């Protein structure tokens, strides 16, 4: 009797996986990749079933990510992806080194004149 129940559960996973593949247009690169995705899918379906059985204020369901492990999902869709260069292709202009001297409490900008095409400050 246990064998029939296990076979039924396996058939249910297979049906759900085929429906998932069809709904989300999922195709895999060979039988090994498909078997790997099927195993991950089963784990995620078990998580979904267990979470929904807790009668929480929300439910979870199979979506387009159900064939990804948690680590794969996080690596692909979550987190900050830093660019190779923070400033892209902008040229390096210079670095200002703070001297530590006390700054004036206020500045009178009325006598400062901006001139030239590059906007040099004169005055």
20-63 per-position pLDDT tens digit: 999 999 999 999 999 999 999 999 999 999 999 999 999 999 99
pTM: 0.60
Residue 107, pLDDT score: 83
Instruction: Quote the Cα angle for 19-17-62, to 5°.
Output: 80
Based on the structure, what is the number of domains in the chain?
Answer: 1
Structure token pair of residue 30 = 């060979």
Structural domain range at position 68: 29-81
Residue 74 domain-assigned? yes
- Separation CA 104–CA 106 (nearest Å): 5
Neighbours of 47 (CB within 10 A): 13
User: What CATH code is carried by the domain that includes residue 50?
Assistant: 1.10.287.2250
Compute the average pLDDT of residues 57-82.
92
**Banded pLDDT at 92 (limits 50, 70, 90):** confident
For residues 69-76, average pLDDT: 92
């Amino acid at each position: 009797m246990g064998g029939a129940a296990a076979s039924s559960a396996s058939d249910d996973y297979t049906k759900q996986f085929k429906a998932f593949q069809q709904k989300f247009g999922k195709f895999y690169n060979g039988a090994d990749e498909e078997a790997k995705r099927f195993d991950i899918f089963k784990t995620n379906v078990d998580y979904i079933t267990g979470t929904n059985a807790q009668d929480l204020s929300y439910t979870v369901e199979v979506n387009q990510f159900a064939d990804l492990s948690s680590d794969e999902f996080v690596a692909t869709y979550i987190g900050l992806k830093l660019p190779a260069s923070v400033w892209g292709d902008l040229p390096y202009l210079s670095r200002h080194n703070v001297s530590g001297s006390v700054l004036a409490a206020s500045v009178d900008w009325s006598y400062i004149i901006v001139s030239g095409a590059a906007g040099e400050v004169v005055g």
